[in-house]
Amino acid sequence: KQEVTQIPAALSVPEGENLVLNCSFTDSAIYNLQWFRQDPGKGLTSLLLIQSSQREQTSGRLNASLDKSSGRSTLYIAASQPGDSATYLCAVIAHTDKLIFGTGTRLQVFP
């Protein structure tokens, strides 16, 4: 059974810091890994999707890497801003077509 773990569970940093959020999964037979952002009381916004054959994806200040063999992904946020404050979720999908979500990292960036 696929299990997805995210560490840390919460993170509070000053503005401007570079951040690394971690995601690990137990079954490496995945199709995609997707990173989402969720603001309080809101829905999920897809940030990046990495296919199983890819090693990384970049969008603006965000960079996500994937090491499928070790069951790990990292989300790197450069030059963090208060507007980055949210909960970040990673999810993997395999042949079952089901997205399996991690428990999330709650990020707070203070000015």
Partner 1 sequence: DAGVIQSPRHEVTEMGQEVTLRCKPISGHDYLFWYRQTMMRGLELLIYFNNNVPIDDSGMPEDRFSAKMPNASFSTLKIQPSEPRDSAVYFCASSLSTGVGNEQFFGPGTRLTVL
**Residue 13 Cβ vs partner 1, minimum distance, rounded to whole Å:** 24
Q: Which is nearer to partner 1, 38 or 63 (CB)?
A: 38
35 vs 71 by CB, closer to partner 1: 35
User: Please, which residue, 62 or 99, has the CB nearer to partner 1?
Assistant: 99
Q: List strand residue ranges (DSSP E) for 1-111, in order.
A: 4-7, 10-14, 19-25, 32-38, 44-51, 56-59, 62-67, 72-77, 86-93, 99-101, 105-110
| Structural tokens at position 49 | 């999707």
Q: Interface with partner 1 by CB under 8 A: which residues?
A: 31-32, 34, 36, 41-46, 49, 51-53, 89, 91, 93, 96-99, 101-104
